[in-house]
Amino acid sequence: MAEQRSWLECDTRFIPAHYQPVTLIDLALARGVNEHRLLQGSGLFYDDILRGDKLISAQQFICLIDNARQQMQADDTSFLIGHQWLPGHYGAASHALRHAGNLLEALERLVRLQPLLSPLMTPRLRLDEHHAWLCWDDSFGASPQSVFLIEASMTAVSSLSQWLSGQKLPWSFYLSHAQPRYIEQYWVHLGERLRFGCPRNQMYLPREYLLKPWIDASATAGRVAEQEGLDMMAALPAPASVLDDLHDYLVAQIRTPLRLEQIADAFAMSPATLKRKLKKHGSHFQEQLDRARAAVAMELYLSRGYSSEDVAEYLNFSDRANFRRALRRWTGFLPSELSTWLG
Amino acid sequence: MQLLKKLQNAPLLTSHKIKLAVLFAAANFGLILHLLQGEIKPLHAWDWLDIAGEGGSAGLLLVWLWLLLKSRPAGYVTNLLFMGLGCLFFSLFMDVVDEFVALPDEVRWDGWLESGPMPAGFILLTLGIFHWHREQLAINEQMRNRERLFREHRQFDKLTPLGDAQYLRKQLALALHEAEQARLPVSVVMVDMDGFSQVNREYGHREGDRLLQVLTQQILLNLRQHDLLCRLAGDRFALILPHTGERQAQVLADELQHSIRHLAYKSSHHGERLHLSATAVAAMARGDDAETLLQRLTIAMAKAKQMLEVRHG
């Protein structure tokens, strides 16, 4: 595992400015925001965007979001651009979504082509006996804008599935932030199946909607477009963000003892480098470990119906009090509170 | 885009150019007159308290003038207010100049320059404020169905000429309180377009925005004197109906649905007809607070939309 690997980081320029960023720019300009103020500090010029070859980093995109929010002072910005994000106009990747034969295929393509379709938020798909779950994580640690990005991303998927299936699908939403003042925006753009203050950001719906055929799709065009999308991915500086790769690695190894040194080794870098990379994304090792454990614990609770004893045993906790404290740190809930929440 | 912005801002200041030029010329004229006839006082004779007091007041009057001209369209009331404030400024400015320039004793006109414009300014200002009041009453009449009892400009919706969800919550809490005191019913109607996201996808955001503005006018035309319309979010509107029971509210909800279905809206680009429909649900307050009432309506709306989908497959 000592090969040299590279990752997308918050300052890697890989997002075409005329993809997702331009939907936000267009909306802001249409609402009368001054172009100069909107682009201020983002290192972007409108003429560059028009040329169609400008790539920007996650940091620049987040700066743009920050400016737009300050200039627009409206509660619905995230939802309005979310409606436009998918399938969007991102070349083959968008075609691949547009011609998905059913919801499952669309979600799988969204996950596979994530850096092109949803560059700042990473969706992860999980199917269990009854439900399809789509979990969302920050790809680059966008903390002040992460609520905005969650709102936009969840709206994007629910709007896409409504458009292509021709009906409003019964998505339910678990949101990790507290209920905001502008709850009415959630009602209108996402629906009324909402829960705030949850351990993770995820949305789910019954499995029966996954395989219902979508009539307008062309299966062959979709498959060709997906292949082209994968070629576009191969041309990126790296296939995934460092936070995403680390998360997947931690989740896969969650039952073994996990130490920073050993993981740095697996990622072919020194512990100091790994620490520095995490710090650059506003995080640290313990936080990433807690996040991975929270993800695994929630999957066990929600999808496999585990009790707290089972979860503690699965994660190698021998001491009950220890597990209570740990679960509180990962999810914000004690085991007893969590069972009420699940019930 | 740029041009549009310039057009929006420009006329406000350019149409006042002449007024500003006259004020500037008058102030200069007074200053020059003082300098021609008098001597500049030595530094030790300056009264700093007077200078700060009079100079500060004159400065603040300039700020008022600037805000007035920036915010108000030209017209009769604006002219009166401007002349009033202009006279006051001139009078205070002469006071300040007087602190720096000593005039010989035989000069009498300086008293006139200082004290003459002051009462004239106050009279003009009073007249201006009186007519402003009349103007406000006329505007209130135009704001009927969009505003009740108090105004909060931070709670104006950004897109439609309506109050936003925060304004609605405040007004709803007030209406519920009033209704409880007077033991009268109060109802709320929620209106939501069917397939609005389709319009946004197919015709773009600008068309969607324009449609919302047209719909606002259409709904307003159907209301009674005391009803209040607010924009909740997106394509969803809420209506507060004071002194109205559930049955009557339901009648109004049906009327709104019909009225929107018969609206022959044309797209701005090619002028083709868009067939619109909306779902409207009504509920009467039954001792619940603003938040639970809105939640109850939201759930009723979701059910109504589901029925719609079942009916149309």
- Euclidean distance between CA atoms A278 and A9, whole angstroms: 10
State the pLDDT at residue A52: 87
Indicate if B303 and B180 belong to the same structural domain: yes
Q: Where are the alpha helices (DSSP H) in chain B?
A: 2-14, 17-37, 48-71, 76-100, 109-115, 117-142, 165-182, 196-203, 205-221, 246-261, 290-312
B268 at A interface, C-beta within 8 A = no
To 10 degrees, what angle do helices A77-85 and A58-72 make? 130
Task: Enumerate the residues of chain A whose CB falls inside 8 A of the CB of residue B236.
Answer: 184, 187-188
Question: Tokens in use for B197?
Answer: 């996201």
Among B115, B142, B169, residue at a domain's last position: B142
Which of A73, A84, A192 lies at the smallest CB-CB distance from B298?
A: A192
Q: Do B205 and A80 touch (CB under 8 A)?
A: yes
- Is residue B148 one of the residues assigned to a domain? no
Closest CA of chain B from A118, distance in Å: 19
Residue B212 has pLDDT above 70, yes or no: yes
Exposure of A5 by Cβ count < 10 A (0-12 exposed, 13-18 middle, 19+ buried)? middle
Closest CA to A187 of B255, B237, B154: B237
Domain extent at residue B181: 153-312
CB atoms within 10 A of CB A222: 20
pLDDT of residue B6: 42
| % of chain B with per-residue pLDDT over 70 | 93
How far apart are the two ends of chain B, measured CA to CA in Å?
43
A186, B231 Cβ separation under 8 angstroms:
no
| Domain end among B91, B108, B142 | B142
- Amino acid at the residue B183: R
Give the per-residue pLDDT at A3. 52
Share of chain A above pLDDT 70, in %: 99
C-beta atoms of B233 and A185 within 8 A: yes
Return the structure tokens found at B222: 């159907």
Q: Which of B81, B67, B65, B184 lies closest to B124 in space, CA to CA?
A: B81
pLDDT at B3 over 50: no
Query: Is the Cβ pair B298, A34 closer than 8 Å?
Result: no
| A-chain residues near B5 (CB < 8 A) | 32, 34
DSSP-based three-state secondary structure for A315:
coil
Distance from CA of A228 to the nearest CA of B (A): 25
Q: Are residues B112 and B162 in the same domain?
A: no
Claim to verify: residue B119 and residue B166 sit in the same structural domain: no
- Which residues of chain B have a CB within 8 Å of the CB of A72? 158
Are A30 and B206 a contacting pair at CB < 8 A?
yes
Residues of B with CB below 8 A from A188's CB?
A: 192, 232-236
Reported ipTM exceeds the 0.85 cut = no
Q: Smallest Cβ distance to B299: which of A32, A83, A192?
A: A192
What pLDDT does B149 receive? 66
Which pLDDT belongs to residue B141?
78
Residues B99 and B245 in one domain: no
Q: Tell me how far the alpha carbon of residue A279 is from its chain's centroid.
A: 20
| B158 vs B251, residue with greater confidence | B251
Structural domains in chain A, sorted by start: 13-234 (3.90.1520.10), 242-342 (1.10.10.60)
What are the tens digits of pLDDT across the range A20-36?
999 999 989 888 899 99
Question: Quick one: B177 and B293 in the same domain?
Answer: yes
Taking an 8 Å cut-off on Cβ atoms, the answer to whether B236 and A184 are in contact is yes
| Domains held by chain B: number | 2
Q: Is residue B74, in this structure, part of any structural domain at all?
A: yes
Which residue of A188, A190, A192, A209 is the best one to mutate when testing the B interface, meaning the one whose CB has the most B CBs within 10 A? A188
- B70 Cβ under 8 Å from any chain A Cβ: no
CB A64 within 8 A of CB A152: no
Which residue among A26, A167, A188 places its CB closest to the CB of B309?
A: A167
A176 Cβ neighbours under 8 A, 6+ residues apart? A150, A197, A198, A199, A200, A201
